[in-house]
Amino acid sequence: MAGRLGQNRLPRLSNIKATSALQIRTIFDILINSIGITTMAHRILITCRSHKVPGPDNEKATLLANQACQKVWGRDFNEALGDRITLEDEFTYGVRCNLLVDNGPVDSEDYTTSFFRWSGEALVLTQLPASILKTLEERFQFNPADRPQRIRYTDEEYKKTFGPKMYDELVRGKAERKEISRRFDPQAN
């Protein structure tokens, strides 16, 4: 068996069609990972309109992470394999959500990034705009310990800091989004 490593697990190259350097890199990563060789660190960014992702809100991040990991590594999201997830914003009607999946040593300075958009039916590999890459480098460093800390408030702290009027507007806005989600999201009914 020596010299035949992973022979039965490799996808047929004749079935693969790549049209861009990004797709070639993703295909390369899938091929390398399919025979068990670990490559450098990798980051997956997924963006979507949350109401277009099927399923209950509390399962949408898992669905997207699993599909993206399948496309890049040929497997589901798995914390035991070093996958880390960061979710920006909440899954509710009409909100744009961003999901970040990182894999590799947290101190990695050299990593590749795959960018997917949810089309309403599937993840679509997309060229990563320079402006988004810059935001990732400034606010979402590969090592979570290096990321700028966001200030989070309890309800009482928010009221004390910004005043009762701003707090009431915040609560009203959340209630409106939940009501819109309840009325228009077929999964909520």
pLDDT confidence tier of residue 115, bands split at 50, 70 and 90: very high
Kindly report, residue by residue over 54-112, the tens digit of the pLDDT. Answer: 777 778 888 888 899 999 989 998 888 888 877 665 655 566 778 888 888 878 778 88
Residue 125, pLDDT > 90, answer yes
Residue 57 tokens read as 């809100």
The three-class DSSP label of residue 18 is coil
Least confident range from 4-13, 66-75, 137-146: namely: 4-13
One-letter identity of residue 142: F
Q: In this structure, how many other beta carbons lie within 10 angstroms of the beta carbon of residue 111?
A: 15
Percent of the chain, pLDDT > 70?
65
Domains of the chain by residue range: 20-150, 151-189
Q: Are 159 and 100 in contact (CB under 8 A)?
A: no
Least confident range from 21-30, 36-45, 174-183: namely: 21-30
Q: Are 42 and 111 in contact (CB under 8 A)?
A: yes
Residue 85 tokens read as 């997830």
Angle at 183 between CA 168 and CA 173, to 5 degrees: 15
Residues 9, 96: Cα–Cα separation, whole Å = 37
pLDDT at 165: 92
pLDDT at 10: 42
Residues 32, 67: Cα–Cα separation, whole Å = 18
pLDDT at 114: 92
